[in-house]
């Protein structure tokens, strides 16, 4: 895919503006480049060769990119990864083999992206979700590098924005060879944006392929024991709780503990700096509380609420739950990944704010694996209902596992289609990854 394409006026302004900024800021950029490895990479000081260049914005997109990278590696492709944010780079480097170069993404200045493309010589650029940068797209076209989108999503708001004459991304359909979407709704929006219907497909979310398989009964019981919970004890897990919803969650915890005999709860704040305030709020409400790291070796505790003060443990903690609330949804944070508890066959309760996990939440809601509530009072009501009604809990659990079974494999299906339409090209001829 080479040659000139129609260039909208808004993009011409964007291109000229970024050139002007580049020239004006060049002395500062040179200084930063000499002092910081991050800025060295952002200015494309590291042109890493790689058959497929996978690009993600931050931690969430990295989660969707990981199964793509692993699947590409199994196909024999050389892969390089770029990420915009420091947190995303850290997660990618921690999660991928050392053989996969992970770098900060080049800034969207023509010299930076041009050097990345010409120095890296990728056969294909895969943009994860909706990580569209005007200069990168135009330079990829000019250098004959095809571009595909993976795990792509497009809201009505973004659709309207990209179709505006004031958008530098007007005409983006000319610059992207294919879009692998999360849902058929996304497919329809991409077609309305100007994509050829034959170059847009939906295979579900690649995030299904990052989730752990359900723990066995024995593994669940062993994990329960580390929390001091007996096998028959009902457990509610409140995951990724955000600051503006802590008060509602604490009240809901109090109601649930009063209403369900023998109930225990696990509460995981989204960020560890909230462990102290959340613990204090629970104790102020008269709820006996312990931190996860304070439990004795056998897990035994008199506390009815355990606050998770560790990292990387929430996904497994969901496995011991009778039902789970996924945070970031009661207050308008956009929501966190509801597939994590669903992957363990756990009924899911969500607040009304699920913009950031719209497709995953929709799948679970339509299948009967999740319910939504409007606020903290209704949250308590729904959690009590599920904890008391074994039949309803089992039905939701089976529905969650069905959704997961149907969703897994999205990554292989997506890359299989990109190969089928000729976009993967010769990436299987791994050329080695330098630094």
**CATH at residue 54:** 3.40.50.11720
Q: Do 173 and 230 belong together in one domain?
A: no
CA 369 to chain centre: 20
Q: Do 221 and 192 belong together in one domain?
A: no
Q: What is the mean pLDDT of residues 96-120?
A: 92
385 part of a folded domain: yes
273 part of a folded domain: yes
C-beta atoms surrounding 341 within 10 Å? 29
Helices first, then strands: H and E counts in the chain: 17, 14
* pLDDT band, very low/low/confident/very high, at 4 (cuts 50, 70, 90): low
Q: For 179, phi and psi rounded to 5 degrees?
A: -130, 120
Note down the domain range covering 301.
217-407
Please determine, for residue 232, whether its predicted confidence score (pLDDT) is greater than 90.
no
Tell me: the pLDDT tens digits for 190-206? Answer: 999 999 999 999 998 88
Rounded CA separation 274/289 (Å):
15
C-beta atoms surrounding 34 within 10 Å? 10
Tell me: the pLDDT tens digits for 263-291? Answer: 999 999 999 999 999 999 999 999 999 99
Domain termination site, one of 152, 172, 202: 202
* pLDDT band, very low/low/confident/very high, at 121 (cuts 50, 70, 90): confident
* pLDDT band, very low/low/confident/very high, at 329 (cuts 50, 70, 90): very high
Q: What is the token pair recorded at 228? A: 């001091």
Burial of 258 (0-12, 13-18, 19+ CB in 10 A): exposed
What are the percentages of helix, strand and coil residues in the chain, rounded to 5?
A: 50, 15, 35
Strands 323-326 and 178-181: unpaired
Give the count of domains, the chain.
Answer: 2
Q: Do 137 and 237 belong together in one domain?
A: no
Instruction: Quote the Cα angle for 265-271-275, to 5°.
Output: 50
Taking the alpha carbons of 85, 88, 93, 97 in that order, is the dihedral positive or negative? negative
Q: Do 138 and 253 belong together in one domain?
A: no
Q: Do 314 and 403 belong together in one domain?
A: yes
Q: Do 290 and 166 belong together in one domain?
A: no
Q: Do 124 and 222 belong together in one domain?
A: no
User: Interhelix angle for 86-95 vs 59-74, to 10°?
Assistant: 30
Q: Do 245 and 179 belong together in one domain?
A: no
Name the H helices within 194-325.
217-227, 246-259, 275-284, 314-317
pTM score, whole prediction: 0.78
Domain termination site, one of 202, 231, 252: 202
What is the reported pLDDT for 422? 92
Rounded CA separation 76/171 (Å):
34
Greater model confidence, 28 or 145: 145
148 part of a folded domain: yes
C-beta atoms surrounding 421 within 10 Å? 13
152 part of a folded domain: yes
Rounded CA separation 209/372 (Å):
25
422 part of a folded domain: no
Q: Do 180 and 316 belong together in one domain?
A: no
* pLDDT band, very low/low/confident/very high, at 50 (cuts 50, 70, 90): low
What is the reported pLDDT for 428? 45
126 part of a folded domain: yes
CATH code of residue 229: 3.40.50.2000
Tell me: the pLDDT tens digits for 138-179? Answer: 999 999 999 999 999 898 989 999 999 999 999 999 999 999
Three-class SS state of 289: strand
Q: Do 195 and 221 belong together in one domain?
A: no
Q: Do 154 and 253 belong together in one domain?
A: no
Name the H helices within 86-125.
86-95, 110-120
432 part of a folded domain: no
What is the reported pLDDT for 5? 62
100 part of a folded domain: yes
Q: What is the token pair recorded at 45? A: 């000081």
Q: Do 185 and 230 belong together in one domain?
A: no
């Amino acid at each position: 895919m080479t040659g000139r394409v129609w260039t909208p006026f808004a993009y011409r302004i964007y291109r000229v503006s970024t050139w002007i900024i580049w020239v004006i800021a060049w002395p500062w950029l040179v200084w930063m480049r000499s002092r910081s490895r991050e800025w060295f990479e952002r200015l494309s000081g590291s042109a890493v060769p790689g058959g497929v260049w996978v690009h993600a914005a931050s931690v969430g997109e990295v989660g969707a990119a990981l199964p793509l990278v692993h699947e590409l590696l199994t196909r024999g492709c050389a892969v390089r990864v770029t990420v915009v944010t420091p947190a995303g780079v850290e997660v990618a480097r921690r999660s991928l083999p050392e053989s996969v170069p992970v770098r900060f993404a080049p800034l969207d200045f023509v010299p930076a992206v041009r050097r990345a493309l010409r120095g890296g010589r990728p056969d294909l650029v895969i943009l994860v979700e909706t990580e569209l940068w005007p200069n990168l797209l135009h330079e990829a076209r000019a250098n004959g590098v095809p571009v595909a989108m993976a795990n792509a999503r497009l809201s009505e708001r973004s659709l309207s924005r990209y179709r505006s004459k004031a958008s530098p991304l007007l005409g983006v359909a000319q610059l992207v060879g294919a879009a692998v979407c999360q849902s058929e709704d996304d497919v329809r929006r991409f077609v309305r944006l100007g994509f050829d219907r034959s170059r847009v497909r939906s295979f579900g979310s690649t995030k299904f392929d990052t989730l752990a398989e359900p723990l066995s009964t024995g593994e669940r019981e062993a994990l329960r024991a580390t929390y001091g919970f007996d096998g028959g004890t009902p457990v509610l897990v409140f995951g990724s709780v955000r600051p503006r919803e802590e008060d509602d969650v604490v009240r809901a915890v109090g109601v649930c503990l009063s209403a369900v005999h023998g109930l225990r709860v696990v509460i995981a704040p989204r960020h560890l700096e909230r462990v102290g305030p959340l613990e204090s709020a629970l104790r102020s409400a008269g709820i006996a509380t312990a931190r996860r790291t304070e439990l004795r070796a056998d897990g035994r505790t008199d506390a009815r609420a355990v606050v998770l003060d560790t990292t990387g443990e929430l996904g497994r903690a969901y496995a011991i739950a009778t039902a789970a609330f996924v945070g970031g949804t009661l207050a308008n944070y956009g929501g966190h990944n509801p597939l994590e508890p669903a992957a363990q066959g756990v009924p899911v309760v969500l607040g009304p704010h699920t913009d950031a996990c719209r497709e995953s939440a929709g799948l679970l809601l339509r299948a009967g694996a999740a319910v939504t509530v409007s606020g903290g009072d209704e949250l308590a009501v729904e959690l009590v209902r599920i904890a008391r009604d074994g039949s309803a809990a089992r039905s939701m659990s089976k529905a969650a596992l069905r959704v997961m079974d149907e969703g897994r494999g999205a990554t292989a299906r997506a890359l299989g289609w990109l190969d089928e339409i000729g976009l993967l090209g010769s990436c299987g001829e791994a050329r080695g990854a330098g630094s």
